[in-house]
Structure formats: C-alpha cells, structure tokens
C-alpha cells in the first residue's frame, strides 16, 4: 500500500503536511481564504439491485477528509455521479441517469447535506447532460451535452438550469469542462482517436472557445479528467502515459502539469488504477480514486507533490469521482450562538484540521479553550459542518480571530 514509512501528518495552519515536506506552490492567500470541507464521491456500496441484466447503480456519499463520518446523500435507483461542489460549499451539482436507460442523463442539484434534489435539465431523448462544473463565482454551470447523433460539446446554464445554451464547440468530443479561478480559460479533454474513444488530450480555450491550446497529449493514450488547481496555475489529470519512465505498467496514474503545458510530473506510481483527481480548496492536496482495476477503487488523499497521506474509504467495490468541498473563511462580524454541547467538547480526534494553530498551544484545541474566561466562542453551522470561531471578548469584530476550525456536527 502507498505511504508506508512516511512521517505522520501534522496539523499546521489548516492543512495536513508531512514533517520535512512542504508544497512551495501553496500561497498564503490560498491557505487563509478557505477551509477544506467534506469530500463528495460516488459509491456502489448500496446497490438497489434493479434485477438481472440491468445496470449497476451508484449513489453519492460524503466523508470528512480524516476518513470519518461517512454519510449517504442520495438514495436513487438510478446512477448518481460526477458530483461538483458549489463555490460556497452549500450545494452539490451532479449527474443522474434516467431509469432504464444507459445513455440518457440529466443534471440535478441538492444541499450539501443531501435531501430533496432538483433536476435542472430537461434533455431530449437520445441526448445526455452530464459532467456539471460550477463557475467559480457560482453564477452558472458548465456541462457536457452529448448523444449518438452529435459531437459532445460544452454548454452553459444558470444555477437552476436557466437559459441553457451552447458555449464552445471545439472539434471532436469534449469531456470534463471547468473554468479556472478568474473564468478566463476553460480546461477540457478532447477525443483525438478517429474511431472510438481510445485517445484523449488535455486542452484549454478562452471563455468564448477561441485560442485553443494543447496542454498535454501522449499520442494514442487516454489523457483525461483534468482539474484546475485553485490558483489556476496547475492542472491535475489522469493518464496511462509514461513520459518520464515512471509508469512501465502503462496503467492509469495521476499527473500534474502547468496550465501552459510545462513541467508535467507523475504523482502516483504503482501497479494500480488511479483516476479522477480533484484539488483541495486550499491547493495543498489532491483527492482521487485508486484500486486494483477500474471496477475497484477507494478514495485517497495525497499532497500535490505526490506524497500519500491517507486512504479514506475501504470498500471491496468502486468508490469514484471525488470532489472537495470549499468552505469560505468565516466573517468575524457575524453573530452566531454557541451551542452548549460544544463547550468542553474533546476535539483531539474530532472534525477537521485546525487553522492558524501556531498561535495556540495544542491543549487549547483539546476542548480547554472553549470555556476559557478570556475567550468567546461563536459557532456557524455551514455546509454540513460547524465552523468554530474563537475571539477575545470585546475585541474588534473586524480583527482576525484567535483561531477558527471545523468540527463535525455529529461529533460530541
């Protein structure tokens, strides 16, 4: 298994790092502006068994980045997949399969905690709407419209499905579109093989479809599933290429490359099938699915330098398509009540990593600070988690709080 012999993770300023290792590309702005929330993914662990000869079904789950608190978010006899968190972390857009169909898909959305869904596309028979991706400002969604009689192109629509329209139509079949942070460029994979779908390359274009640039292509190889880093400078993707001699098996591995196509690096190197990378919101980690073949995969986390951190799921089947929830940094001007059950809570093994922990001694984060007479606690329930904000009584609400961290509401 990956990761043997590496140092134990250390909680530093809201990210998980390994002793003696750092990611020099992570900026202070990235670390201070957002939390790494929960991870959504599709799992086949709860199959609805629709009958002999029918299709496998997947549902969407979420899990804390520690591997704790697995939650099932959908319970659908169809196939729910390709979840994508909204920029504010409150909503998940995802693809659903129409009953008794292999090719007809729609796009739905639901709250971060699951519950009532809204189907936001109405796709004609024979076509499929899939691969939703939020605009970074939350104003709209990109998606893929495909069908046997048309090339798969990149479309856009409002957050509730308003005004669907064609955005860009490069030559060939397009896959996995998404905008970079300033919405100046779109990344996508394109089918390059003349027959079938055996060769894809990674491209970017301007927002209007002009200025198409090749980012990475190994001829005859599946280079696909691109994902922007939060700062827009890097793109992670999956490929069975071997540009540096690190993939002699020719299996699917995770790579990273500069947005301009320079500096490609292979991050995973094993005899397993690794796919579907997504960056953590703070830009320091990647979540992906890895297993012995395409039908077996667990959700794993590594640094953007390729250092394995942990495996989050352990399922003898397929967990796939992870995406990491962003939780914006809290406003210190918002007054939130402090639930009594948080006071004195033992936080040593609960929830998610602390932020700005260097300002505090560790024992403060073990439940002792919450009822300290020189501090006050505000709790903001947000996106399926609790943001705990600790400040000094009477301090200027516009000043930076002493510490802010996340805990799971179910812990206690």
Q: Within 10 Å of residue 201's Cβ, how many Cβ atoms? A: 23
- Find the mean pLDDT for residues 304-317: 93
Query: What is the band of 67 on the pLDDT scale with cuts at 50, 70, 90?
Result: very high
Q: What single DSSP character describes residue 30? A: H
Length of the chain, in residues: 412
Domain coordinates in residue numbering, the chain:
9-328, 340-407
Q: Give the Å distances, CA to CA, from 311 to 81, 204, 325.
A: 20, 31, 17
CA distance 171 to 154: 11
Dihedral sign, Cα of residue 282, residue 283, residue 285, residue 290: positive
What is the SS3 string spanning 66-97?
A: CCCCCEECCCCCCCCEEEEECCCCCEEEEEEE
| CA distance to 48, 167, 186, 357, per residue, from 206 (Å) | 42, 11, 6, 40
Q: What pLDDT is attached to residue 378?
A: 66
Work out whether strand 354-355 and strand 403-407 pair parallel, antiparallel, or are unpaired.
antiparallel
Q: Which two tokens stand for residue 297?
A: 């995969």
pLDDT tens digits along 317-333: 899 999 999 987 654 33
DSSP 95-131: EEEPTT-SS-EEEEEEETT--S-EE---PPTTEEEEE
Q: Which tens digit of pLDDT belongs to each residue from 321-376?
A: 999 999 876 543 333 333 333 333 333 333 333 333 323 333 444 444 445 556 66
For residue 15, CA distances in Å to 9, 34, 257, 293, 412 come to 10, 11, 22, 30, 23
- Residue 9 pLDDT > 60: no
Q: Whole-model pTM?
A: 0.77
The CATH classification number of 9-328 equals 2.120.10.30
The answer to whether residue 208 scores a pLDDT higher than 90 is yes
Mean pLDDT score of the chain: 79
Residue 26: the pLDDT is 39
| Segment among 104-118, 235-249, 307-321, 322-336 with least mean pLDDT | 322-336
Cα 340 to the chain's mean position, in Å?
A: 33
């Amino acid at each position: 298994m990956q990761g043997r012999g590496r140092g134990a993770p250390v909680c530093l300023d809201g990210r998980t790092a390994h002793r003696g290792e750092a990611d020099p590309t992570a900026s202070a702005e990235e670390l201070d502006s957002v939390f790494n929330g929960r991870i959504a993914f599709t799992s086949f662990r709860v199959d609805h068994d629709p009958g002999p000869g029918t299709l496998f079904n997947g549902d969407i789950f979420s899990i804390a980045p520690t591997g704790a608190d697995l939650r099932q978010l959908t319970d659908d006899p169809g196939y729910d997949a390709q979840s994508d968190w909204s920029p504010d972390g409150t909503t998940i857009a995802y693809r659903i399969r129409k009953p008794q169909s292999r090719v007809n898909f729609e796009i739905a959305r639901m709250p971060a905690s699951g519950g009532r869904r809204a189907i936001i596309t109405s796709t004609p028979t024979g076509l499929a709407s899939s691969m939703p991706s939020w605009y970074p400002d939350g104003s709209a969604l990109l998606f893929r419209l495909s069908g046997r009689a048309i090339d798969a192109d990149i479309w856009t629509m409002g957050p509730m499905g308003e005004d669907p329209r064609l955005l860009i139509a490069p030559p060939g079949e397009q896959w996995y579109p998404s905008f970079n942070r300033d919405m100046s460029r779109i990344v996508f994979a394109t089918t390059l093989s003349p027959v079938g779908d055996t060769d894809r390359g990674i491209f970017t274009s301007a927002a209007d479809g002009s200025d198409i640039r090749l980012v990475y292509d190994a001829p005859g190889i599946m280079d696909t599933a691109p994902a922007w880093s939060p700062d827009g400078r890097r793109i992670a993707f999956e490929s069975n290429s071997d540009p540096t001699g690190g993939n002699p098996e020719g299996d699917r591995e995770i790579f990273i490359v500069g947005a301009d196509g320079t500096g490609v690096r292979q991050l995973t190197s094993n005899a397993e099938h690794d796919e579907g990378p997504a960056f953590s919101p703070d830009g320091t980690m990647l979540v992906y699915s890895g297993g012995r073949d395409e039908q077996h995969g667990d959700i794993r986390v590594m640094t953007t330098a390729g250092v394995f951190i942990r495996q989050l799921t352990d399922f003898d089947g397929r967990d796939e398509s992870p995406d990491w929830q962003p939780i914006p940094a809290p406003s210190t001007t918002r007054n939130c009540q402090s639930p009594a059950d948080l006071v004195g809570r033992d936080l040593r093994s609960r929830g998610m990593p602390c932020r700005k922990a260097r300002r505090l001694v560790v024992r403060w984060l073990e439940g002792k600070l919450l009822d300290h007479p020189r501090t006050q606690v505000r709790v903001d329930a947000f996106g399926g988690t609790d943001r705990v904000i600790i400040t000094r009584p009477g301090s200027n609400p516009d000043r930076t709080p002493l510490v802010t961290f996340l805990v799971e509401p179910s812990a206690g």
